[in-house]
Amino acid sequence: MTKTFDIHVKEFKPLTPPAKMKQTLPLSDDAARTVITGRRDVADILTGKDPRLLVIAGPCSIHDTEAALEYAQKMMALRREVADKINLVMRVYFEKPRTTVGWKGLINDPYLDASHNVNAGLETARKLLIDINDMGLPTATEILDPITPQYIAGLLTWVAIGARTTESQTHREMASGLSMPVGFKNSTDGTLSAAVNAIQASGTPQHFLGIDPEGRSSIVSTTGNPFCHIVLRGGNTPNYDPVSVGKAQALLRERKLIDSIMIDCSHDNSGQKFTGQPFVFKSALDQRLDGNPCIVGLMLESNLFEGSQKCPGDGCALRYGVSITDECISWETTTSLINCAHNRL
């Protein structure tokens, strides 16, 4: 008989079951405390119980764990200094959505050589998250693949659903079962409807196909996530200005959803240029200080050093601490912005 399935599949490689990886790389008590406290603090900020500003900052993507740990150590020291007014959370991104083709992130290709050793990528990601949480520093990431949460979600304080996947039913269902607050970004064209619909859908119980901790295909039933909210990341035009923020709040209130707003200072709000991020950051901070407490969070793409670099494919000729995806501001600029916000708040 003629084969009718898997015609374009080259091979299948088994994934390490999530439960086995968790046994190999267990969550420490210190890391668990960081996660539990971090999630509670973010939820309290979203609901107005905690008046501090939430700032999620870190590399556009993680490709070098040594540089990531150095960044985390610097951020932990700064977090302690500003903790009375700012809740600093480290952006630790392992999955990168591609418009066409390109490197898909550390989980998909940890060795930067197209070997796609996903088991090694998941282990590396989990180990890094444990190390950062052990410091007492909460972590945030974007979840792209619906299988990934079983491996790393227990180590995350906050999660984003990106502009390309906010409209996806799969990601809305997944978010409804995640254990931490989830920010949905507006669509790449700047429209808000998909994100608002996603928040509403993710706040309700869902039933869908997924995997269990043993890696078995399962029917997943969820209770709904009460801490989903919107992230303004720009589109055809920036949307961090007071008019755009006001429109987003009005739409959320009309649907009786959380009207707390997070502003992404990068992506289309900054014109894809790292030099634009400080302007967006300060503008959003001005709005908060001018009487809009609903601007509860800001996001920065930040690395040890500014700018970005092309990845040659072997990882050998890369400059240390420089992004291989989107442009990032430097640690010095990051520190300056955070201290400025702390002083003004």
Convert the pLDDT of each residue in 88-132 to its tens digit: 999 999 998 877 778 999 999 999 999 999 999 999 999 999 999
Q: pLDDT at residue 311 above 90?
A: no
Q: How far apart are CA 211 and CA 150, in angstroms?
A: 8
How large is the average pLDDT for residues 22-28? 97
Predicted pLDDT of residue 276? 97
Mean pLDDT for the chain? Answer: 96
What is the pLDDT averaged over residues 239-252? 97
To the nearest 10°, the Cα dihedral for 63, 337, 140, 72?
Answer: 50
**Is-contact 231 299, C-beta < 8 A?**
yes
The pLDDT assigned to 96 comes to 87
Confidence check: pLDDT of 315 > 70: no
How many angstroms separate the CA atoms of 50 and 84, rounded?
10
- Residue 56: both structure tokens together: 């999620």
Q: Residue 24 has what pLDDT?
A: 97
Contact 61, 106 (CB under 8 A): yes
% of residues, the chain, pLDDT over 70: 99
Distance (Å, whole) CA 261 – CA 12 = 42
| % of the chain residues with pLDDT over 90 | 95
Please give the CATH topology (third level) of the domain spanning 18-344: TIM Barrel (3.20.20)
3-state secondary structure of 323: strand
Listed in order, strand segments (DSSP E) in 21-110 are 53-58, 86-91
Nearest 5°: the CA angle 314, 319, 323 is: 90
Q: Give pLDDT, residue 102.
A: 84
Region 291-316: what's the mean pLDDT?
90
Span of 79-88, 194-203, 252-261, 304-313 with lowest mean pLDDT: 304-313
